[in-house]
């Protein structure tokens, strides 16, 4: 079955990015020349998805507005003959159909995804975390969609992390099937040091089947008192099987201050117009450190 929809949860409080995220959603913080969330929606569009479902909360309307048409701004720019800029701004509102559902309380990522159940319906769908950026030649979602066509089984994207960082992630254990592909045996949310030998960390890209919604409904609060997606993923894996895919590309956690700075450097270095000057500056800067 074709994957047509992508769910992007953006309802979290962003406490790791305070005070910047007090009044501005962290997903609206700028990486070079556009907000983080725009990169994520562009990845979805480049992967051939037809509809985005944002899971939002109070205080996140800037995200919905960013993808909406702004008549006043458009008219103003056209009157000032700034046609190029007007076109660029219109382009954002024409990227893809965006609907939003509300998560009234931040009860966890699993709960946020469950809120999208009626809009997703009975079909496979993608989940992208609103603060996880992936820089890749082939968009990470596209890589996963191609794999899903072959496997027809849920897939989580993973990256290898140093053993001392595994306690910060959802960790996958399983058997290697082929290069970059592992059949999942177990998923553990933020394992205590020494409790798992695996260094395969789940990142913010999932390709799920609709059975996940019933499983989420049955999931009781786990780590941190939140409805954890990882717990429902374990149940889905037991029921339908699951693969972990080591995607090609680099992931940046833009919801974390250091991760966000790294993302800016990576995306600025590759930027079409700013890239060459930025790379020169970084070299000069590095020489003084
Ligand atoms: P994070 O844990 O990275 O986001 O969740 P957070 O809770 O906003 O941030 P911190 O940890 O307090 O700094 C991953 C994604 O899941 C969404 C977040 O918006 C983020 O995109 N999320 C998380 C929800 O939509 N609802 C929740 O209840 C929790």
State in Å: Cα 256 to ligand 1 middle: 11
Per-residue pLDDT of 158-212, as tens digits, reads 999 999 999 999 999 999 999 999 999 999 989 998 899 999 999 999 999 999 9
The CATH number covering residue 265 comes to 3.90.550.10
**Atom number, ligand 1, closest to the C-alpha of residue 131:** 21
- Ligand 1 pocket, 110 CB below 6 A? no
CA 269 to chain CA centroid, Å, is 21
pLDDT band at 91 (very low <50, low <70, confident <90, very high): confident
Q: What are the two backbone dihedrals, phi and then psi, of residue 252, each rounded to the nearest 5 degrees?
A: -125, 130
**pTM exceeding 0.75:** yes
- Ligand 1 pocket, 14 CB below 6 A? yes
Cβ atoms of 42 and 98 within 8 Å: the answer is: no
Q: Which domain holds residue 39?
A: 5-288
Strands 51-56 and 97-102: parallel
Our count of domains for the chain comes to 1
**Atom number, ligand 1, closest to the C-alpha of residue 9:** 25
Query: Would you tell me how many other CB atoms lie within 10 Å of the CB of residue 148?
Result: 22
Tell me what pLDDT residue 194 has. Answer: 85
CA-based Rg of the chain, rounded to a whole angstrom?
19
């Amino acid at each position: 079955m074709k994957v047509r929809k992508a769910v992007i949860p953006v309802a979290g409080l962003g406490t790791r990015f305070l005070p910047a995220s007090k009044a501005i959603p962290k997903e609206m913080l700028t990486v070079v020349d556009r907000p983080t969330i725009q990169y994520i929606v562009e990845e979805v569009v480049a992967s051939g998805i037809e509809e985005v479902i944002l899971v939002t909360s109070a205080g996140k309307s800037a995200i919905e507005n960013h993808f909406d048409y702004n008549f006043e701004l458009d008219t103003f720019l056209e009157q000032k003959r700034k046609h190029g800029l007007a076109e660029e701004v219109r382009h954002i509102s024409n990227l893809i159909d965006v609907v939003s559902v509300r998560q009234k309380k931040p009860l966890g990522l699993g709960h946020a995804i469950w809120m999208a159940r009626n809009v997703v319906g009975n079909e496979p769908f993608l989940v992208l975390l609103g603060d996880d950026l992936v820089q890749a030649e082939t968009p990470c979602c596209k890589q996963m969609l191609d794999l899903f066509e072959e496997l027809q089984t849920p897939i989580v994207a993973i990256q290898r992390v140093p053993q001392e960082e595994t306690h910060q992630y959802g960790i996958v254990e399983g058997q290697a099937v082929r290069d970059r592909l592992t059949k999942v045996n177990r998923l553990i949310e933020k394992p205590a040091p020494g409790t798992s030998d695996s260094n395969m960390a789940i990142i913010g890209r999932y390709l799920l089947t609709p059975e996940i919604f019933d499983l989420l409904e049955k999931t009781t609060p786990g780590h941190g008192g939140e409805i954890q997606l990882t717990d429902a993923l374990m149940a889905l894996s037991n029921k339908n099987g699951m693969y972990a895919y080591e995607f090609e590309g680099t992931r940046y956690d833009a919801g974390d201050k250091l991760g966000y700075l790294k993302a800016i450097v990576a995306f600025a270095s590759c930027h079409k117009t700013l890239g060459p000057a930025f790379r020169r500056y970084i070299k000069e800067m590095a020489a003084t450190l």
